[in-house]
Structure 1
């Protein structure tokens, strides 16, 4: 059983391209060849060999093997105890990240997973989704996400590729908080309470790492966001001001001019004139 799917126009971050199941005859093989998407095989029974990157892996029931896009691979069923497997082809901007979280990469393409019942369940649900007339793409993407979440949850614990210092972690938390909440009336006290550090200590730590204060970083982040909004003619200066956390338009204009050297109105006029010149 195999089903090929059209490229998803709705789910560019992650989408299924095909899925299937096969009981191979002895010595059945594929390759050497490349694929243009990710392909995960799960061995339901039997044995076989998978070759990639100069390495040969002897595989058996209960193991996954990953084929990455544009990588030459070869795989062959055992001559005595040939494998049967199912497979899931997929792609999208999130595919590599999710696979890494499951401990699967081009250099680590094998994963042990004792969960035949779960895999059969996802295969059945994917097959049954053919009855959906309007939401099949969404349902298939959801099932793919659920299946990958099982691999991530029960796969090996993968250490971070680069260990961050505690100071770097706190700095990233500050930046993330500002990115998510810059439109609100946030203060340094709010940020410190959220992270769980003393205000003075956090400010000192941030200054050492970033070479600017948290307050200056927040102000510049807001003003840069405001600049991005200037190209939207439907937004007034007041709309933009409120959208980046300043209910007082006069205060916003004063801060904007201090940071950018122009008033918001002048900046918008100059930016529009420049874009028109670039167009022509």
Structure 2
């Protein structure tokens, strides 16, 4: 069986285009041909061959193969023990990244999954989702994410990048992420240090060494940057904006804003509205 699905306008980051299953007859083949989207085949029984880029793979139950967009592939069921497989067609801006996390690329298109029957279960759940009316597309997208997360979890270890981040770079990124997530709260440098798990003075020293600025200054500038983006919203008062970026003292907000931008919040908003 096979079901084709309309292109998703809601889930452009990742969406299912089709899914199906087939108990192939001996010698049944497809190709050489190209596809316009990604296609994952998972072998539930039997054997067959898959050819791509001049390489031939002999595959069996518990293995699967990736077909990428616009790549010539050929696959054929064994003549004495033909395979039965299910497949999932999908696309989206996150598809390539998620597949790489699972160790699947055009140069490495084979995967193994023999832990349990969860891949077939996801196929079954997709088929059963026909009973959904309003939420089917979202439900199918969730199942696709679950399928790919399974391949990521049990796939090969990711290769070590040529550029290996230093420990200082990792800590700095954690500080930036914490600030960008929590800038609206009354956070302190001590809060950040406790979150990172480092001594406050040591963390401040690392941060300054990497970015040539202090954590406090980075926090202030990030808050004012977000405040500037809010200035164009006429429904927000200056006080609303101040509280939204973590300043509950309007005088302190005005002081920090002028320090960073060179003008008061009111003057800045007046200039923004003139443009």
TM-score by length of 2: 0.92
Deviation by residue 1:247-278 (Cα, 9 ceiling, x = unmatched): 1222212211221222222222323333xxxx
Partner residue, 1:234: 235
- How far 1:116 sits from its partner (Å)? 5.9
State the alpha-carbon separation in 1 of the partners of residues 254 and 194 from structure 2. 29
Deviation by residue 1:24-73 (Cα, 9 ceiling, x = unmatched): 23333323333232211101222222222343322222111112223332
Residue pair 1:206, 1:214 contacting (<8 A) in 2 also? yes
SS in 2 for 1:16: strand
Partner residue, 2:85: 85
SS in 2 for 1:225: helix
- Summarize the Cα distance change of 1:254–1:53 in structure 2 as closer, same or farther, 3 Å threshold: farther
Q: Which stretch has the larger CA shift, 213-222 or 47-56?
A: 47-56
**Cα RMSD after superposing both structures:** 1.9
- Summarize the Cα distance change of 1:235–1:69 in structure 2 as closer, same or farther, 3 Å threshold: farther
- How far 1:135 sits from its partner (Å)? 1.6
Partner residue, 2:200: 199
State the alpha-carbon separation in 2 of the partners of residues 54 and 273 from structure 1. 63
Deviation by residue 1:198-236 (Cα, 9 ceiling, x = unmatched): 111101111111111111111111111111112222111
Residue pair 1:62, 1:116 contacting (<8 A) in 2 also? no
State the alpha-carbon separation in 2 of the partners of residues 59 and 12 from structure 1. 32
State the alpha-carbon separation in 2 of the partners of residues 211 and 68 from structure 1. 44
Please list every run of 5 or more consecutive structure 1 residues that lacks an aligned counterpart in the other structure.
Answer: 275-280
State the alpha-carbon separation in 1 of the partners of residues 232 and 71 from structure 2. 43
Please list every run of 5 or more consecutive structure 2 residues that lacks an aligned counterpart in the other structure.
Answer: none
Residue pair 1:20, 1:88 contacting (<8 A) in 2 also? yes
Structure 2 counterparts to residues 1-280 of structure 1, below 5 A: 1-115=1-115, 117-161=117-161, 162-274=163-275
State the alpha-carbon separation in 2 of the partners of residues 128 and 52 from structure 1. 33
- How far 1:76 sits from its partner (Å)? 2.5
State the alpha-carbon separation in 2 of the partners of residues 204 and 33 from structure 1. 58
- Summarize the Cα distance change of 1:47–1:175 in structure 2 as closer, same or farther, 3 Å threshold: same
Greater than 6 Å deviation, 4+ residue runs: none
